[in-house]
Each structure stands twice: as structure tokens, then as C-alpha cells.
Structure 1
Amino acid sequence: MDQRAQQTRNFDFDGWRFAAGLGRGFAGALIFALPMFMTMEMWELGFSMDRGRLLLLLIVNIPLLVLLSNEVGFEATYTWGDALRDAAIAYAIGIVSSATILAAVGVLQFDQPFIEIVGKIAVQAVPASIGALLARSQLNGDSDEDDEDDEDPVQNGPRDYAREMFLMAIGALFLGLNVAPTEEMILLSYKMTPSHVLAVLVMSLIVMHGFVYAVSFKGGHEIGEDVAAWHMVIRFTLPGYVIALLVSAYALWTFQQFGDSSPWPVLATVIVLGLPCSIGAAAARLIL
């Protein structure tokens, strides 16, 4: 009886933790995706976005969620099977939360074509599913896990370095997706002169380096006395900025922001969006 009672208590505890994880997942989806739920450009993309690009975005999101779940999912994972399960749950949370919010604010109507409803939900489910997996770090859940290793990854080998680059990419998405589909990105690229673009580029690099490495925020890297400052710039800041620009370019291409523009407006738009993306990449360890 004692053993059966203990198993029942363990089942109840695990069930409670799973339910709490789902609650944090829905909360994270809202925190991350609510600005996009309220953005007209995202509504329009639901029926105007090229279906091939939308399908590619949905496919790319799957391994992204699996890797992210293995790092900072809304529930502790110990195997890749656990990570795949939580990624599927996060995707389901993204779909349900997107459909619920869009229907509540009147964006989804019963008389709309089925393909339009599916498109609107699908494009919003991507950021919402990422938010679901970021919920633990956003909402301080599951404190029983070991803290992340705060040692400088310069000393930790290629696996930790690759993890650092991956978290930078997620951080870039975290901020970049909020503004990538807006018309302001295109407007700014046409208003800016080459000197403005250069200034944004330099500002992005300075802010990115200072945000994590020069300013002692929690989770940031402190440059040890035995590590040259230029080494940190070459090893982390510059690759991080390249990742931010790649994320910026992919987001803009996916949301069809380039159109038939000439190379200069395209480059300017990528660098403009690269500013929030670079800040997100730099703050990745604080956000995640």
C-alpha cells in the first residue's frame, strides 16, 4: 500500500508539473507572439505569403524547436526523444494559442476561405511555438535543474561554442521576428543614406559587444585577464553579428520584404533589421 501510495503521489506530482509546464508554455507563447498577433502585416501574410516560403518556414521550425527544447524547453528533457516530444507539444501550443487569439480579436472569421484561415494560423504558430519553449527562462520555471554553466565558452571547446552560436540565432529571432514583417523596415531602407547604414552597422557591433562582454550583466561573458579583448571580438562579436544578419536576411526573404528591390535597398533593409537582431543575439544568454 505504501508503495502504491508513493507511486500515486509521484504520478500526481508529475502530472502537476506537466500541467504547470503547459501553462508556462501558453504564457510564453503569448509573451513572445502577442505583438505579432496584433500586427496587420502578419494577418495579411496569412493569405498573401508565398506557400512555398511558408512551408519552408514551418519545416525549418521543427529542428529549431527540437534543438531549443534540448536547451531551454518548458520542461526538463534528458533525451532527444524528450526534446522531440516537447517540440511537438510546443508546436501544438503555438497552433492553439494562435487560433484562439486571432479568433478572439476578429481576425479569423467563419466565412473566410479555409486556406486563408490555415495560413494565418500557420504563420503565427511559428513565433508562438518558440515562445512556448522559451517560457521556462522567461517565467523562471523549473528551478530544480542545474544552472547553466557560466564559464567562458572560449575555454569549453567546440560543442559549447556551437551552443553559444545557436543561442545567438534564437536571440536574434526573438527580437527580429517582431519587426521583420512590418512596412517600416522597407521605409527605413529607402530613407537611409549610405552613411546612415554604416552608422547602424557600427552601432550594432558596438552595442552587441558592450551589451554582453563589456557590461557585467548576469549571464554575460567577463573578459579574463588572460584573454585579449580582440580575441573576444573575433571569436564572438563578429560571428554573432554575421548570424544576426543571416537571421535578418532569412526573415525578410520569408516575409517577402525584398520584392523586386535593387541590391542597395536589400542590403540596407538587412542591416536595419540587423540592429534588433544583433541586440537579441547579444542578449541571448540573458533572455534564454
Structure 2
Amino acid sequence: MPSPRTVADFDHRRFVVGLSRGIAGALLFALPMFLTMEMWELGFYIDRARLCLLLTVNVPLLIVLARRIGFERTSSWREAVRDAAIAYFLGILASTAILVAIGVLRLGQAATEIVGTVALQAVPASIGALLGRSQLGQHQDDKDEEGSPPDTSYAGELFMMAVGALFLGLNVAPTEEMILLSYKMTPWHAIAVILASIALMHGFVYALSFSGGHGLEEGTPGWHAFVRFTVPGYLVAFLVSVYCLWTFHRFDDVDLVEAAITAGVLGFPSGIGAASARLIL
């Protein structure tokens, strides 16, 4: 068990580098949402209770994520809370800067519209700020200086899959295409999409042997990975899709069949995000 860290042990250079990567990650991962018209409009009319719930859910998500990939290797939950708060701040900062730069936010707008728009965009931006550490080289630095990254438990695997599903699902859930596809597709189309999502998730992590994938131990039957990871992973991604669509009012005034089809469609990118998260985080 590592000994408690002191102020003298704090590496300020690596922390600043982590902040820089966090800002870059916020811009890199959230830029598509900054430039999406539906996200601007949602900030104006999204139900404030649903927005508050999304912001509340994002806090523990960031804390747990920061415990694994903070701006500077964390050794306690207190440091994880610190990194989560910084990520949220960076998300708000990046969201405000980009939305002002592209003219979405202007002087004279109602404060509720500005706060709603920035708060909504800050969610994916804050996640991107933390993901920037793993994608922009920090993991290798940690590995070189402190050994291999900590192992991930089964619950941790599912959590990271949920993060990946949420992050990618947030990018497309607000778009009008989700509603349009629910009208154009039949239940058979939705079933085909669901099966394709599950097959791609399984192949993405196991069959294709991507770097970071989870190989099976010798003698383990092939169906074990499918039952233990792929199916639960898709269920996680599907539930995340349902939550995103509900948050963004995509289930308002639609029947159950259309809602299920829409969730199945969003489950495709969410499932890919879930599978990708297990490879890159």
C-alpha cells in the first residue's frame, strides 16, 4: 500500500502538464457538441430538473474517473475529488470560451439561457478533460515513473464502459436524426442494429485483439467473454442511451415502440463507445 503523499512530493510540472492535456482533451472530445445546433437550443429549454440531475450524476462519475486517470496520479479519494473539480472547471471554461467565440453566447442574453447552455456543454467537456490524460500520453508517463497502471475490477470495467457509452451517446442523443430514424425504421431494423451492436462490441475487444483488449485465459470457453462482458456491456450502453434520450426530451410524446427503436439506434454508438473505453482508459 503506497505511503501518504506530502506537499513536497507533489510534482507541479506534471500537474501543469496534466492541466494542459485536460484543456486539450476538453476541446478535442467535446468540440463536436460545441458545434451542434441542437445542443445550443437544449440549453434554452431543457427541463431544469433533468439538467440538474445530469450535472449531479456527472460529479461522482468524474470523481471515480479521476481516481483512475486524474491530472496527476492520485493516491487518495481527496485528490480524486480535487481532480474532478478541476476537470469540471476546465469543462466550464472551455465551453464558455468556445460558445462565445462562435457567437452562440452574446451580451444581453438571459442569464438562464447562458447558464443552461454552458452547464450542458460542460458535462462532455469535463469528461473530455479527464480523458485527455489517457489519450494524450499521461498514462505512459505514469507507467514509466510509477509502474503499471492499477488493475480494473469487474465493476470497474463496467463503470468505464458506462463512461464510454455516456460520452459517445451524449454526442448524438440531442440530434434530430434520433427522432427521424425512429420514424424511418421498423422494429426489424432495430433488432438488426442491436444484434450488430453486440457483435461489433464483442469483436472490437476480443476477436480483433486490439491493443488494450482483454484476452481470454487458456482453456476458457469463448462464450464466457460474451456472457461476462459483451452482453452486460451492451445492457449498460443501452441503459445509458435511455437515460440520455430521456434527459434530452427525445421520449416526449412518442409511443413505446418508437422510444425502444430510438434507444436501439443510440445503443449502436453508445455500445462502440463502451467497447472503446475498455481499450483506451
Structure 1 length as normaliser, TM-score?
0.91
* Deviation (angstroms), 1:149: 5.6
Q: One-letter code of the match for 1:115? A: T
Partner of 1:134: 131
- 1:5-154 matches, within 5 Å, as 14-141=11-138, 143-145=141-143, 146-148=147-149
Partner of 1:3: none
Partner of 2:5: none
Partner of 1:233: 226
Q: One-letter code of the match for 2:180? A: L
Q: One-letter code of the match for 1:179? A: V
Q: One-letter code of the match for 1:207? A: L
Runs of 4+ in structure 1 off by over 4 angstroms are none
Query: After the TM superposition, which of the residue ranges 13-22 and 75-84 deviates more from structure 2?
Result: 13-22
Given that 2:237 and 2:274 are in contact with CA atoms closer than 8 Å, whether structure 1 keeps it comes out as: yes
Q: Describe the superposition over 1:66-114 as per-residue Cα deviations: whole angstroms up to 9, x where unpaired.
A: 0000112222100000000000010010111110000000000011001
Q: One-letter code of the match for 2:68? A: E
In 2, the alpha carbon distance for the partners of 1:75 and 1:138 equals 14
* Deviation (angstroms), 1:208: 0.6
Q: Describe the superposition over 1:36-58 as per-residue Cα deviations: whole angstroms up to 9, x where unpaired.
A: 00000000011110000000011
Confirm whether residue 286 of structure 1 aligns to residue 279 of structure 2: yes
Partner of 1:250: 243
Given that 2:58 and 2:123 are in contact with CA atoms closer than 8 Å, whether structure 1 keeps it comes out as: yes
In 2, the alpha carbon distance for the partners of 1:113 and 1:190 equals 35
Given that 1:74 and 1:134 are in contact with CA atoms closer than 8 Å, whether structure 2 keeps it comes out as: no
- 1:146-225 matches, within 5 Å, as 146-148=147-149, 160-225=153-218
Given that 2:161 and 2:273 are in contact with CA atoms closer than 8 Å, whether structure 1 keeps it comes out as: yes
Given that 2:174 and 2:248 are in contact with CA atoms closer than 8 Å, whether structure 1 keeps it comes out as: yes
Q: Describe the superposition over 1:154-180 as per-residue Cα deviations: whole angstroms up to 9, x where unpaired.
A: xxxxx7100100011011122111111
Q: Describe the superposition over 1:15-44 as per-residue Cα deviations: whole angstroms up to 9, x where unpaired.
A: 222221111110010011100000000000
Given that 1:73 and 1:135 are in contact with CA atoms closer than 8 Å, whether structure 2 keeps it comes out as: no
In 1, the alpha carbon distance for the partners of 2:208 and 2:121 equals 34
In 2, the alpha carbon distance for the partners of 1:206 and 1:149 equals 29
Q: One-letter code of the match for 2:64? A: L
In 1, the alpha carbon distance for the partners of 2:52 and 2:255 equals 26
Q: Describe the superposition over 1:198-224 as per-residue Cα deviations: whole angstroms up to 9, x where unpaired.
A: 110110010010110111111111123
Partner of 1:266: 259
Given that 1:208 and 1:237 are in contact with CA atoms closer than 8 Å, whether structure 2 keeps it comes out as: yes
- Counterpart secondary structure, 2:142: coil
Given that 1:74 and 1:136 are in contact with CA atoms closer than 8 Å, whether structure 2 keeps it comes out as: yes
Structure 2 length as normaliser, TM-score?
0.93
Given that 1:108 and 1:117 are in contact with CA atoms closer than 8 Å, whether structure 2 keeps it comes out as: yes
Q: One-letter code of the match for 2:148? A: D
- Counterpart secondary structure, 1:213: helix
Structure 1 vs Structure 2 CA RMSD: 1.6
Q: One-letter code of the match for 2:165? A: A
